[in-house]
Amino acid sequence: MVDQSAVGHAFTPVTARVEPARLRFFLDTLGETNAVYRDDKAAQAAGFTAAPVPPTYLFCLEMMDAPDPFEFLTALDIDLARVLHGEQRFDYHAPVMVGDTLTFKSRVADVTDKKGGAMTLIVVVTEVTNQDGTHVADTSRTVVVRNARPS
């Protein structure tokens, strides 16, 4: 069972490039048709220098480019079959656009037991910087782990 000793545990940083074809695939999967995300001219008319990414794309991009997208589970000895997605949050400090190269640095920020230890909530926060070292976003995700019932 994951406990407070996991707080502060950092994971291997992930570097990912925002590529137009992969972004289009993501947009098509979501059914997102906003031209700002698809067309440089529309993006520029909206005040961007290139097509920006939609808010949730960072989570997918980090997982797609991670050498081990399940490092979190392995490092904390969590069985994937017991995991539920609890919550996600994205706080943008600067636009993220096609052509950017991003670095994701994640760590465990909080561990909380609920329902008498029947489940554990684990909060992982990620700082995202671009190729210029600009801190462009912070993300957080809450993972719910159903704990084994005592025999």
Give pLDDT tens digits for 122-136.
Answer: 999 999 999 999 999
**Containing structural domain, residue 68:** 4-19+58-146
The number of distinct structural domains making up the chain is: 1
Q: What percent of the chain is modeled with pLDDT above 90?
A: 85
pLDDT, residue 143, reads 94
Residue 117 included in any domain:
yes
Q: Following DSSP, what letter does each residue of 78-146 receive, concatenated?
A: --GGGEEEEEEEEEESS--BTT-EEEEEEEEEEEEEEGGGTEEEEEEEEEEE-TT--EEEEEEEEEEEE
- CATH number, domain of 130, equals 3.10.129.10
Say how far apart CA 13 and CA 21 lie, in whole Å. 23
What is the mean pLDDT of the segment spanning 97-115?
96
Residue 29 included in any domain:
no
pLDDT digit string, tens, across residues 39-53: 999 999 999 999 999
Instruction: For tokens 């972004």, name the residue.
Output: 23
What pairs with residue 126 in β-bridges?
106, 139
What pairs with residue 143 in β-bridges?
85, 122
Say how far apart CA 120 and CA 118 lie, in whole Å. 7
